[in-house]
Amino acid sequence: MAEATIDNAWFYILTMTLDGVSILCALLNMAIVLWIWRKDPKSKQSPSFCLTLWMAIPDILQRVVDLGVSPYTFTEEMTENYSLARFYVWLQWFACYWYVCLNILIAMDLQLVFFHRLPRYAPIRRWYPLIGTVAGFILAFMLLIMPKVRLYYGGAVTIGDRGTAWMPFNAYWTLSWLTLAIVYLVSVMIAILLKLYASQRELRQFDSSNMGMRKMTANPTVLRSARLVMAYPITLAIVYIPYLLNMWFSSFLQGPGVAIWNYITFIIYSSQGIIGLIVLLMHPVVVNLYPGQKFDITSWFSRTQSFLKRPSAPPSMALSNTVGTPGAVSGASQDTAVNSQTSQHPYLKTMDLGPHVTGLFGHPNDSKILVNEDGTVAESNHQTSDYTGSYKNLNTFDSFDDTSCL
């Protein structure tokens, strides 16, 4: 077993402690999600909440690998055994890519909802975990075929013989994909923040006027949920931008400043599970279960606080005004109405896609329900016109009236 030097012993002890705490936090994340799913089944409809459970798995794998290559647990067999070293390196980067891809999917879902009017019940949302897993595996697959992978204590890696192109290729492969992911993430977050914090007149352009429905930005639930859910990609940027810069610095620069930055980077990186637990506790689905629902991160920003408290737009043509869904309810009573209406109108608050929803990105116009004049859902076949009411769009922004919408 290799021994750590006196100069950096504090660093390894600190990072190992943070790794252990992060593992416990990731396990707690999984327990919280599973408990809430059992307590409130409709929370499974939230893509970001579902991805939280999946993100805990690569987080645990990353921490386990970090503990395995620490000087206090590292063995010489990891250096001499190429297969074992290759597995460790692949597992480390597969977990990293997997975690990043799952976070990217949360940002992509926000982009699709805000900029492309993705329906709440679009089938693509159910495939996010699988998409993120497959993408992470494909990006890390290259490490399974690289020759002579050697692993050294502290996490240092060499690939191939000296002078070959394997090491530069692996460095550029990793840097390229992580850079693209961070650039996309930051671009999407800036675009959404600009939309959310723009003037009310500009926000009102975010509507579905061609369908005669209520403006999405008149819905305070969507705005509040979006601000809370954005904590996931923002914290990913906080963790991985220093990590990415550290990779660039280590590849092209030398000096004491690079070593100090390396310490800072891995301390933040080892705290990923702790940060993930904090973000989960701010998730709108979790906040909805707090007594009195007093937690509101948007109150920190005076500019948005007054906007979120303004009355909703007149729901004269909205689905909520017709069938009595909680879109016409404001404040804490909104979620109570959600629960009471779930059994009456299963298409509105469950993953049942309802009639005419086709394709992974099913358009709102493709999903309709029949509504009688008295406000009840028609029991007749949706393919016929034998009913007393009219067609009402289902997958519009008015179906984003509860905290599991994002």
pLDDT tens, position by position, 204-233: 554 444 433 444 444 556 667 777 788 888
* Helices and strands, counts by H and E, the chain: 17, 4
The per-residue pLDDT of the chain, averaged, comes to 70
**Which band of pLDDT confidence, cut at 50, 70 and 90, is reported for residue 85?**
confident
**Residue 229 near residue 114, CB atoms below 8 Å:** no
pLDDT at position 123, please?
84
In this structure, of 150-159, 317-326, 331-340, the range with the lowest mean pLDDT score is 317-326
Domains detected in the chain:
9-298 (1.20.1070.10), 319-399 (no CATH)
Question: Do the Cβ atoms of 65 and 95 come closer than 8 Å?
Answer: yes
What is the per-residue DSSP string for 288-336?
TTSGGG---GGGG-HHHHHHHTSPPPP-TTSHHHHH--GGG--TTHHHH
Q: Which two tokens stand for residue 69?
A: 């290559």
pLDDT of residue 249 exceeding 90, the answer is no
Host H or E run for residue 370? strand 368-371
> Any idea which residue has 């509101």 for tokens?
296
Q: pTM of the prediction?
A: 0.69
Q: How many residues does the chain have?
A: 406
pLDDT tens-digit map of 46-71: 888 999 999 999 999 999 988 887 77
Nearest partner of 298 among 234, 201, 230, 350, judged by Cα: 230
pLDDT in tens, 155-170: 667 776 666 777 778 8
Region 191-210 average pLDDT:
59
- In whole angstroms, give the CA distance from residue 382 to residue 363: 17
Residues 127 and 28: their CA atoms lie apart, in Å, by 24
